[in-house]
Chains A and B, each alone.
Chain A
Amino acid sequence: MPINLVSADYAAILPAVILIATGLAVLIADLFVTDDGYDNPSSEKSHLVWIGVCGAALAFAALFVPSGLLFGAWSENGVASGSEVVFLGALRLDAFGGFAAAIIIVAAGLTTLSSGGYLAAQGQNRGEFYGLVYLGGGAMVLLAQATNLISIFVAIETLSLTVYVLAGFFRKWKLGAEGAAKYFILGAFSSGFLLLGMAFVYGATGEISLAALGKSTADPYLMNVGLLLILVGFGFKVGAVPFHSWVPDAYQGAPATAAGWMAVAVKVCSFAALIRVVVAAGQGGVADAAIGKMLAALAVVTMVLGNLAALNQTNIKRMLAYSGIAHSGYLLIPVVLAFQGTPDPKVGAGALFYLVAYLLMTIGAFTVVAMVSNGDTDREELESYNGLAKRQPFVAFAMTVSLLSLAGMPGTVGFLGKLTIFKDAVYSGPYLYLAFVGILASLVSVYYYLRPIVAMYFREEGETIEIVENNWGVKLTLVLTSFGTIALFFCGKSVHELSVRSIQSITG
Chain B
Amino acid sequence: MEEFLKHSLFGLSGLLGVVCAVLVVTRKNPIYSALFLIVLLGTIAIDFFLLQAEFLGFMQLLVYAGAIMVLFLFVIMLINPRGDSLPDEGGATDRWVAFGVALLIFSLLFTAIAKSPRLKEFDSFPGMAAVPETVMGTPARTADHGSLTAFGYEMFTTHLFVFELTSILVLSAIVGAVHLSLRPRRRKREETEAALDSSHGREEHAHV
Chain A residues close to B by CB (< 8 Å): 1-3, 13, 20, 27, 38-39, 87-91, 126, 128, 131-132, 135-136, 138-139, 142, 150-151, 154-155, 157-158, 161-162, 164-165, 168-169, 171, 196, 200, 206-209, 218-219, 221-222, 225-226, 228
Q: Which of B153-175 contact A (CB under 8 A)?
A: 157-162, 165-166, 168-169, 171-173, 175
Which residues does chain B contribute within 8 Å of A38, judged by CB atoms? 184-185
Q: Which applies to chain B's interface (DSSP): helix, strand, loop or mixed?
A: helix
A261 to B132, CA, bound (A): 42
| B168:A219 contact, CB within 8 angstroms | no
| A3:B117 contact, CB within 8 angstroms | no
A208 to B168, CA, bound (A): 22
A383 to B178, CA, bound (A): 37
A158 to B160, CA, bound (A): 16
Which residues does chain A contribute within 8 Å of B93, judged by CB atoms? none
| A88:B158 contact, CB within 8 angstroms | yes
Besides the known contacts A154-B169, A161-B169, A222-B115, 5 further A-B residue pairs in the complex with CB atoms under 8 A apart: A39-B185, A150-B162, A154-B162, A154-B165, A218-B117
A131 to B133, CA, bound (A): 43
Q: A135-B175, A225-B108 are in contact. Are A207 and B168 (CB under 8 A)?
A: no
| B176:A3 contact, CB within 8 angstroms | no
Question: Is B118 engaged at the interface, CB distance under 8 Å to the other chain?
Answer: yes
| A136:B116 contact, CB within 8 angstroms | no
Q: Mark B98-113, 1 if CB is under 8 A from A, else 0.
A: 0000000000110111
Which residues does chain B contribute within 8 Å of A168, judged by CB atoms? 180
Chain B residues close to A by CB (< 8 Å): 108-109, 111-113, 115-118, 132-136, 138, 157-162, 165-166, 168-169, 171-173, 175-176, 178-180, 184-186
Nearest B residue to A153, CB-CB: B162
| A128:B135 contact, CB within 8 angstroms | no
Which residues does chain A contribute within 8 Å of B161, judged by CB atoms? 13, 87-88, 90-91, 151
A175 CB to closest chain B CB (Å) equals 15
| B172:A136 contact, CB within 8 angstroms | yes
B177 CB to closest chain A CB (Å) equals 8
B186 CB to closest chain A CB (Å) equals 7
Nearest A residue to B185, CB-CB: A38
Nearest B residue to A221, CB-CB: B115
Q: A208-B135, A222-B116, A225-B109 are in contact. Are A154 and B166 (CB under 8 A)?
A: yes
Which residues does chain B contribute within 8 Å of A138, judged by CB atoms? 168
A221 to B159, CA, bound (A): 28
B169: contacting residue among A151, A158, A196, A221, CB under 8 A: A158
| A89:B172 contact, CB within 8 angstroms | no
6 A–B pairs (Cβ distance < 8 Å), ordered by A: A154-B162, A164-B176, A206-B134, A222-B112, A222-B116, A225-B109
B136: contacting residue among A88, A132, A162, A171, CB under 8 A: A88
Q: A138-B168, A206-B132, A207-B135 are in contact. Are A151 and B162 (CB under 8 A)?
A: yes
B1 CB to closest chain A CB (Å) equals 29
A161: contacting residue among B115, B118, B173, CB under 8 A: B173
Nearest A residue to B113, CB-CB: A222
A226 to B116, CA, bound (A): 13
| B112:A128 contact, CB within 8 angstroms | no
A17 CB to closest chain B CB (Å) equals 10
| B136:A135 contact, CB within 8 angstroms | no
A27 to B174, CA, bound (A): 12
Which residues does chain A contribute within 8 Å of B157, judged by CB atoms? 1-3, 88
| A90:B159 contact, CB within 8 angstroms | yes
Which residues does chain A contribute within 8 Å of B111, judged by CB atoms? 221, 225
Which residues does chain B contribute within 8 Å of A165, judged by CB atoms? 172, 175-176, 179-180
Most chain B beta-carbon contacts within 10 A, residue among A126, A132, A219: A219
Q: A39-B184, A219-B116 are in contact. Are A89 and B168 (CB under 8 A)?
A: no
Which residues does chain B contribute within 8 Å of A200, judged by CB atoms? 112
Which 4 residue pairs across A and B have the least CB separation, nearest first?
Answer: A206-B132, A165-B176, A225-B112, A87-B161
| A126:B115 contact, CB within 8 angstroms | no
B104 CB to closest chain A CB (Å) equals 12
| B116:A3 contact, CB within 8 angstroms | no
